[in-house]
């Protein structure tokens, strides 16, 4: 018998309606109670899923905050706890939709299978089972995704997003941007959860974790939490705070686990079990961020430079660092080692650079300018000498770049320089951010990442060189 499309759609609707009618589960009052009725694999045995205290605390924070960023040790059951929370919300709400973004296809399928086992243990009726989709009989959905750049761009009314091991997802920046728009219709009730073990001190996840925290130092927090000297809710190994944008930053160390905390040699055990070297074991289990590139300016010195309160002499002449990157023309004005002005224009041309200097000369008396000789800098210097004959113009070769960075590093280490604070990307010059992102790898210096800028750091280093008050330059890498 031939079945028309309209008849088939009516049949599908009838089936779905019938499935929802059969979805008559006693729903526990709390997520904790829901989990306690489930048995799951643990340590080679089927055990009752009784949430640990830190999992209960994390669930409460997720209910309180819309944006949660978690840094954690491995093997703590954080992902398991989160998918169980999604499942609990799904049985309560037929309109519930959650998406979990994993590192790759294998991880996406594996987490789907773990959700399916929870569904089976909870005896929840299903309407659809696919490799990356669980649709309950009541219509609620939990989807899993790989690290595709598209994310879930086509979805809407998504209630919860989980970005798992975000520091290790290659396309996480574009995935996040493409996917968070799917929560717009859900409004303030949507939950966006970003979770990862530590990786490098750079990249999208590092920026998300370290920005908008006031004077808090994330590395210092991780260290102090790992030592057991900083914790929340009377639970060593667990700590959280509310950031300046109203989001929540959470730290979960193995010392909050009721079993692992009894093993003082836990990290050594895990290193032997997984055949990890000491650096990898520290990163995986002790909340230690490790960067293959060397941090040039310490985070502490940059924070102190932002918090200094030195006032330059108004009558003093200024020195200027002028730097042209592939995208920006940037000039920084320095008086008595205090940055009094920073200008960046998205046009790395000679005319733009000379225009910046003209704007500065209208406001300040310039004693000296340093710019680079390469990439047209020699011609810029020639034109500046004609327009500003009373100003000392220095165009330096690449061989001098490292010395300018060394001079700036000395000033920062000696707490003899003051830079404006960076909090708002729209209003504040990003000097501090560029300094924090500045790295050294072999003979390369700079941000070392295509999506990060370093022009303000270079311009500041050039301004230090130009300054008559600059510290004595040391050979790069000297003690």
Please write the tens of the pLDDT for every residue from 454-475: 999 999 999 999 985 333 333 3
| Fold of the CATH domain 299-466 | Nucleotidyltransferase; domain 5 (3.30.420)
| Domain layout of the chain by residue ranges | 28-285, 299-466
DSSP string, 419-450: ------TTTS-THHHHHHH-EEETTEEE--ST
pLDDT at 320: 96
CA 177 to CA 301: how far, in whole Å? 32
- Torsion of the alpha carbons at 167, 57, 190 and 173, rounded to the nearest 10: -10
Task: Name the 3-class secondary structure at 138.
Answer: coil
Say which range, 9-18, 193-202, 203-212, has the weakest mean pLDDT. 9-18
The mean per-residue pLDDT over the stretch 359-382 comes to: 93
Q: Is the pLDDT assigned to residue 3 strictly greater than 80?
A: no
Both structure tokens of 269? 């055990």
Full-model pTM: 0.67
Beta strands in 54-140 (DSSP E): 67-72, 97-101, 126-130, 133-136
Residue 236 CB partners (closer than 8 Å, separation 6+): 228, 255, 256, 261
Helical H segments across 138-243, by residue range: 172-180, 204-210, 218-227
Residue of 53 and 150 predicted with greater confidence = 53
The string of pLDDT tens digits covering residues 40-92 is 766 667 788 899 999 999 999 999 999 999 999 998 999 999 999 999 999 99
Instruction: Write down the CATH superfamily of domain 28-285.
Output: P-loop containing nucleotide triphosphate hydrolases (3.40.50.300)
pLDDT at 472: 37
Task: Name the 3-class secondary structure at 335.
Answer: strand
- Give percent of the chain above pLDDT 90: 55
pLDDT at 475: 34
């Amino acid at each position: 018998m031939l079945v028309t499309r309209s008849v088939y759609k009516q049949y599908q609707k009838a089936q779905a309606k019938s499935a929802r009618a059969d979805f008559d589960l006693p729903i526990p009052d709390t997520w904790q109670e829901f989990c306690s009725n489930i048995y799951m694999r643990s340590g080679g045995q089927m055990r009752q899923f009784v949430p640990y205290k830190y999992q209960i605390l994390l669930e409460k924070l997720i209910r309180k905050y819309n944006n949660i960023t978690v840094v954690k040790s491995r093997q703590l059951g954080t992902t398991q706890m989160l998918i169980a929370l999604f499942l609990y919300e799904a049985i309560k709400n037929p309109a519930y939709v959650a998406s979990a973004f994993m590192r790759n296809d294998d991880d996406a399928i594996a987490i789907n299978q773990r959700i399916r086992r929870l569904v089976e243990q909870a005896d929840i009726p299903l309407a659809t089972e696919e490799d990356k989709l669980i649709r309950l009989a009541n219509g609620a959905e939990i989807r899993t995704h790989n690290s595709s750049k598209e994310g879930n761009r086509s979805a809407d009314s998504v209630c919860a997003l989980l970005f798992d091991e975000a520091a290790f997802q290659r396309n996480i920046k574009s995935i996040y941007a493409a996917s968070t728009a799917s929560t717009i219709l859900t409004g303030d009730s949507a939950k966006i959860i970003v979770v990862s073990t530590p990786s490098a001190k750079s990249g999208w996840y590092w920026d998300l974790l370290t920005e908008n925290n006031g004077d808090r130092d994330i590395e210092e927090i991780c260290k102090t939490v790992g030592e057991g000297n900083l914790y929340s809710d009377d639970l060593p190994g667990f700590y959280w705070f509310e950031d300046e944008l109203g989001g929540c930053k959470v730290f979960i160390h193995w010392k909050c686990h009721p079993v692992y905390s009894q093993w003082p040699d836990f990290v050594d055990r895990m290193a032997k079990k997984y055949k990890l070297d000491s650096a990898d074991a520290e990163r995986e289990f002790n909340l230690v961020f490790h960067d293959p590139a060397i941090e040039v300016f310490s985070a502490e010195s940059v924070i102190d430079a932002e918090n200094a309160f030195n006032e330059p002499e108004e009558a003093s002449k200024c020195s200027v660092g002028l730097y042209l990157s592939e995208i920006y023309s940037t000039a920084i004005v320095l008086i008595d080692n205090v940055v009094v002005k920073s200008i960046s224009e998205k046009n790395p041309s000679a005319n733009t650079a000379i225009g910046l200097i003209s704007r500065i000369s209208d406001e300040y008396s310039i004693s000296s300018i340093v710019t680079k000789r390469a990439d047209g800098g020699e011609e810029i210097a020639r034109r500046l000498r004609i327009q500003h004959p009373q100003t000392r113009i220095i165009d330096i070769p690449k061989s001098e770049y490292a010395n300018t960075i060394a001079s700036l590093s000395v000033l920062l280490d000696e707490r003899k320089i003051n830079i404006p604070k960076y909090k708002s990307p729209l209003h504040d010059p990003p000097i501090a951010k560029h300094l924090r992102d500045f790295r050294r790898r072999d003979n390369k210096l700079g941000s070392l990442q295509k999506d990060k800028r370093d022009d303000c750091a270079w311009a500041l280093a050039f301004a230090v060189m130009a300054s008559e008050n600059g510290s004595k330059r040391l050979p790069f890498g000297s003690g």
